[in-house]
Amino acid sequence: MSLSFRSLGEDHLKEILTLESLCFPGEEWTEKMIQTHLEFHVAFGMGNPEIQCYALVCETPWEIEIFRIATLPKFRKLGLAKQLLEQLFQKFPKKEFFLEVKESNEPAIKLYLSAGFFELERRKKYYPDGSTAVLMKRNPIE
């Protein structure tokens, strides 16, 4: 069955809210944050029929910043997030990709390294809990 990579919009607000609570327990974005994101930025999902993996993304004329990417717990380590990233690279082939990740988030860092990101720098005490951010970049595919 196709994984159905697709754009998500304001119609998906409630579904994204549920995904956030399942994927980021205790750190989920609020309805207002997701609503604002969908108003000004873009989102993508994969999974058929339910969304199994999604990304909240900011597109500028020069670059793509990935704010959030997550896979539902029961579908993890099946290659979904890597496929979603590959779809984003294909969709925005001329753009540089950036993201920040907590240095303690080993699964996410492994995913990003495996998808071609490299570390640019570390920012200490970046997050509200005092943890360090790893800033990562991926060069355009074209």
Ligand X SMILES: CC(C)(COP(=O)(O)OP(=O)(O)OC[C@H]1O[C@@H](n2cnc3c(N)ncnc32)[C@H](O)[C@@H]1OP(=O)(O)O)[C@@H](O)C(=O)NCCC(=O)NCCS
Name the minimum Å distance from CB 53 to ligand X: 6
Degrees (nearest 5) of the Cα angle 53, 65, 58? 80
Nearest to 64 by CA among 37, 98, 32, 89: 98
Task: List C-alpha distances in Å: 10 to 7, 42, 69, 81.
Answer: 10, 10, 18, 22
Decide whether 8 or 70 has the Cβ nearer to ligand X.
70
Decide whether 42 or 79 has the Cβ nearer to ligand X.
79
- Spatial separation of the C-alpha atoms in residues 17 and 73, rounded to whole Å: 15
Name the minimum Å distance from CB 111 to ligand X: 4
Decide whether 8 or 80 has the Cβ nearer to ligand X.
80
Residues that bind ligand X (CB under 6 A): 23-24, 53, 68-71, 76-82, 101, 105-108, 110-111, 114
Name the minimum Å distance from CB 54 to ligand X: 9
DSSP codes, 21-48 = HHHSTTTPPPHHHHHHHHHHSEEEEE-S
Decide whether 59 or 61 has the Cβ nearer to ligand X.
59
- Joined together, the tokens standing for residue 104 give 């303690």
Name the minimum Å distance from CB 1 to ligand X: 17
